Structure 1
């Protein structure tokens, strides 16, 4: 079901630090992080629907990569409403934004919200970040600060969002402030993304799914679990990919010089 944390405009040389866990059925066919040959996108790819859950704009010209600073992430919205077969893939919203020339706000305002199952979409470039969903949250610019979003409303305080927020403030953001070199802080970020502590039953959100399922989904990192109609001892769902996205800005010229994704696949994901 996924979780995303965004440190937006907190650090002069790193205006964006985005951490993401992608939770998905293990059998869903997926390509790992790569440069797409058919679109100017650097991302993993959902081979079932053709879109992605997280990516940046990047294209290759004669072996040289060019970027424009655009980035995007999408999460499902969990409210007990099943996706319809006639609805468009939510991953298309990420690819369409990354290949669009519209500003983040203009793109968000032009989404046909009724065409998709429930989603939270976060899109941005070097200067603006916007969040929107089709469950009543209008396109809204992100203020400078730390934002943690999962599968409810952006302002919801779920156990997993507050646990991730707290650990980032204590264990990761101080490291970035001290030294923003990736090798100095990214392992700590991945460690925080790998938190498997589940919520006490009394702190579970009410989203329309069974309490037992809600409990399994309540940790930042979801260990492999059997969902659906398969054998109960065969894992079918869990956190499949962990990613960190950054925008790096040249402090002397105040221009963004590189967008980068660091991603790792979980060992049990097929």
Structure 2
């Protein structure tokens, strides 16, 4: 499970802002964010499946992923972590081979963003353009009114509106993504899994003791893109049971060649 809130093409200084909590078992081997081999893709890496939940490139592309909360998952399905680094055209043909996913892909140079999901199962792959504004992605469709998604969106909007010219991703991450408040009204839970499990997952920052070990938020990533093309990738992550943080900054490479559009 994961949750993300992002602002797209609706701020005078920042065309894109993203905050994303990755929820996973704390004992699952994971690499903190960094440049992958070749130096063109930046993101964390799941050392079991080999994929990622969030990646961006020097060419101005960003992709991030959440799982769909559903009762039955296929153990034979491909790892969803592959999705952020695949091309959209190929994904459409192979989407049925994955368990339920929500994927957002953006091209910051051509100012296009698309949301892709392979659920409901058995229906055609959903592909829709993401409109400018504030959006939240949890474990249902984009902007689904789940309680924690609604709370996160409201708090994000307030902080952005009250922020001065310079927005601190470190401050946003601390004030928004460390929220451990659980849903007050259990009737508002999706009722897909057991109510106890859904209640444990109903906070923005998740922390649950299970027979398989601690499950919950093990990293918070923040991406801030300035109108100039400067990208700041800030990550707070758990390593050997200790919280660490680092920031990577780079500039988008704007090619003079025609930019490939993220559309079909």
Residue 190 of structure 2 corresponds to residue 205 of structure 1: yes
Offset at residue 190 of structure 1 (A)? 2.7
- Specify every segment of 5 or more residues in structure 2 that has no aligned partner in the other structure, as ranges: 244-264
Offset at residue 156 of structure 1 (A)? 1.8
Equivalent-residue separation in structure 1 for 2:145 and 2:179 (angstroms): 17
Count of residues in Structure 1 that have an aligned counterpart in Structure 2: 235
Q: 1:104-119 residue pairs with structure 2 within 5 A?
A: 107=89, 110-119=92-101
Residue 210 of structure 2 corresponds to residue 220 of structure 1: no
- Specify every segment of 5 or more residues in structure 1 that has no aligned partner in the other structure, as ranges: 58-66, 98-105, 251-256
Query: CA contact under 8 A between 1:168 and 1:189: conserved in structure 2?
Result: no
Q: 1:54-203 residue pairs with structure 2 within 5 A?
A: 54-57=54-57, 67-85=58-76, 87-97=77-87, 107=89, 110-126=92-108, 127-136=111-120, 138-170=126-158, 172-176=159-163, 178-179=164-165, 181-183=166-168, 186-200=170-184, 201-203=186-188
Equivalent-residue separation in structure 1 for 2:24 and 2:149 (angstroms): 18
Query: CA contact under 8 A between 1:108 and 1:130: conserved in structure 2?
Result: no
1:143/1:91 CA distance change after superposition, 3 Å = same
Show CA shifts across 1:22-54 (max 9, x none): 000111100001111256211111000111000
Query: Would you tell me which structure has more strand in proportion to its own residues?
Result: 2
Query: CA contact under 8 A between 1:244 and 1:262: conserved in structure 2?
Result: yes
Q: TM-score, length-normalised on structure 1?
A: 0.81
1:119/1:164 CA distance change after superposition, 3 Å = same
Offset at residue 12 of structure 1 (A)? 2.6
Equivalent-residue separation in structure 2 for 1:111 and 1:190 (angstroms): 39
Residue 220 of structure 2 corresponds to residue 246 of structure 1: no
**Secondary structure at the residue paired with 2:209?**
coil
